Structure 1
Amino acid sequence: MSIFHPLQALDYCERQVKDKALGVYIHGMFLPPEIRPFFYSIHALRIELIESRESIMHSNLISTKQAWWLDNLDSIWNNCPAQEPVSIAISELKKYHTIRKSHFERLIKGIFEEPQMKNLRTFDRYIDNNYTMCCYLTLEILHYFGEAEFEAITYAGRSWGVMEMLLRSKYYAEQGRFYFPEDLLEKYKIPISISKENEENNTNELPEQFYDLILEIAAYGKMNLEKARENQHALPKYAYLAFLQLAQAEMFYKRLEKHNFNIFNAKTRKFSWMPLVWRMFKCAKKRVF
């Protein structure tokens, strides 16, 4: 069967998520089987977009690639997706679920456009465009469209997005860039262009106050997690299924604190199967997040 066959395209998306986003993959395991492949296709798109952008980071092709994906999105909505697996999978998703095209547009533009993060407000916008949109789409494939659900998932998406940004901090530091609010970088006197080559190299050490910055960013992520939980008992019975990624976020923030907010410590960034499965299982059993 060809990779361009819808079933093979959906399988491809699942494999991509399993290999590159363990927490998301485990989250999907707790979703109804008829929903699961489409959930993975949403996140496979996010992974594809991020990898595409990073591969042409210092190239004038970024705007061209963004335009290609936006044109492809129009084609998907016209039932003529590009002949590549992620596009075919998203086309299948559209056939069976009521989803908003605008969420995909924000995801594509958010990932390809160079962020302007002056403060927490613009940081939120960046997180929403790059991560929360996936959470919105998860709600929609679960057929939840209420204001209360979207308000809660906004906070959940920001908490998860902050975690993902912190997890990528080592990579970004090696590239000589950070995606943190500029006012916080100025507060802690951290140059935007500072980098850390590797964990053993002492010739390019980050200043001590960098970890104070990580503490403040992590506290903001944790605050969003707590806000997401505030009214969870007022949400529809099965809405918790869209929020299970918070189990990973909570584990991460606790582990980061345990290791003194040293985001470069491998122990803060590595997740194992069983603890994540067990934590999400307990949340799913109690129908909470």
Structure 2
Amino acid sequence: MNTHLKGTILWSGKRDYEGFLCTLLLPPESRNSVLALRAFNVELSQAVQKHKLTKRWLTRVIDEREKNLDSRAYRNIKELETYAENTQSSLLYLTLETLGVRDVHTDHAASHIGKAQGIITCLRAVPFHSSKRQVFLPVDICILHDASQEDFIRGSQEKNVKDVIFDIASQAHVHLEHARSFQNKVHIAAFPAFNVTVPLDGYLKRLRKSDFNIFHPSLQRRDTWLPLSLYIQSWRKNY
């Protein structure tokens, strides 16, 4: 049993004892999932009450995740950005609310950071999806560079594939730079929520170093310097 599951079980038993006991009697193949759902349900209720979270951000995340179950490629980069806005950006808005920050400039930065995060998450998943013979990259950019799904499935390192990755990564970079362009207007209390820019920058840097070969082994390894980089950024009070 992994550590995360143990924590979920202990948590569930403490907050929802009766539901926890009932769940233990479920078949093993469904038990773990139901424990996670019950923990999510109780914690969500308490988090919303404690921080008076805006419920539309929560429903946007759930609705967008549900739509994404279709497992299809994004038609264009705009569609990918919309998905990122409704999931990653919404989670950042909620994080800001737990920090007591409700500010239009800060939300604007969160929107762009969330979009960058969503785009980069899509890129990072390319090797895994390709190994399953699935490609979810924006179709319009693939067509622009005459890159087929089969090119990604076979792990091609040709220029047309790299050009697709370059264009998508560039859009993530644009969002990060836009978010930073009005950094002096962002509430200082929001900066911890934006530490996510550290791993995003790190991935883009490694991607450039690999000449936009999305299948390069360096992109699959964990960044051992990340904890230190996060500490330095939090100390500098920027993003």
Q: Under TM normalisation by the shorter chain, which class is it?
A: 0.7 to 0.9
The counterpart of 2:40, out of the listed 86, 110, 114, is 86
Q: Displacement of 1:142 after TM fit?
A: 1.0
Helix, strand or coil at the partner of 2:172 = helix
Asked if 1:121 is matched to 2:121, the reply is no
Aligned partner of 2:209 in structure 1 is 258
**Change over 3 Å in CA distance of 1:101–1:282 after alignment to 2:** same
Structure 1 segments, 4+ long, off by >3 Å, are: 5-8, 192-195
Aligned partner of 2:59 in structure 1 is 105
Whole-Å Cα distance in 2 between the matches of residues 255 and 131 of structure 1? 22
Whole-Å Cα distance in 1 between the matches of residues 193 and 141 of structure 2? 31
CA contact 2:155–2:215 (8 Å) conserved in 1: no
Q: Displacement of 1:6 after TM fit?
A: 5.7
Helix, strand or coil at the partner of 1:257 = helix
Helix, strand or coil at the partner of 1:214 = helix
Structure-1-length-normalised TM-score: 0.66
The counterpart of 1:180, out of the listed 101, 113, 137, is 137
Aligned partner of 1:152 in structure 2 is 109
Q: Displacement of 1:112 after TM fit?
A: 2.3
The counterpart of 1:285, out of the listed 220, 235, 239, is 235
Q: Displacement of 1:251 after TM fit?
A: 0.8
**Change over 3 Å in CA distance of 1:6–1:164 after alignment to 2:** farther
Aligned partner of 1:23 in structure 2 is none
The counterpart of 1:233, out of the listed 184, 198, 204, is 184
Whole-Å Cα distance in 1 between the matches of residues 157 and 217 of structure 2? 19
Structure-2-length-normalised TM-score: 0.79
Asked if 1:163 is matched to 2:120, the reply is yes
Aligned partner of 1:267 in structure 2 is 218
Helix, strand or coil at the partner of 1:3 = helix
CA contact 1:177–1:193 (8 Å) conserved in 2: no
Mind listing any 5+ residue stretches in structure 1 that lack a counterpart? 9-81, 197-203
**Change over 3 Å in CA distance of 1:2–1:239 after alignment to 2:** closer
Query: Which protein is richer in helix relative to its size?
Result: 2
Residue deviations 1:141-195 (CA, integer Å, cap 9, x gap): 1111111111111111111222211111111112222222221111012234655
Whole-Å Cα distance in 1 between the matches of residues 51 and 121 of structure 2? 27
Matches within 5 A, 1:195-214: 195-196=152-153, 204-206=154-156, 208=158, 209-214=160-165
**Change over 3 Å in CA distance of 1:130–1:235 after alignment to 2:** closer
Whole-Å Cα distance in 1 between the matches of residues 130 and 209 of structure 2? 22
**Change over 3 Å in CA distance of 1:139–1:126 after alignment to 2:** same
Q: Displacement of 1:254 after TM fit?
A: 0.6
**Change over 3 Å in CA distance of 1:242–1:133 after alignment to 2:** same
**Change over 3 Å in CA distance of 1:193–1:100 after alignment to 2:** farther
CA RMSD of aligned residues (A): 2.4
Q: Displacement of 1:84 after TM fit?
A: 1.9
Whole-Å Cα distance in 2 between the matches of residues 107 and 193 of structure 1? 31
Amino acid at match of 2:43: A
Q: Highest Rg: 1 or 2?
A: 2
Mind listing any 5+ residue stretches in structure 2 that lack a counterpart? 1-8, 17-35
Whole-Å Cα distance in 1 between the matches of residues 228 and 84 of structure 2? 27
Whole-Å Cα distance in 1 between the matches of residues 196 and 10 of structure 2? 32
Q: How many residue pairs get matched?
A: 209
Q: Displacement of 1:234 after TM fit?
A: 1.6
Amino acid at match of 2:135: F
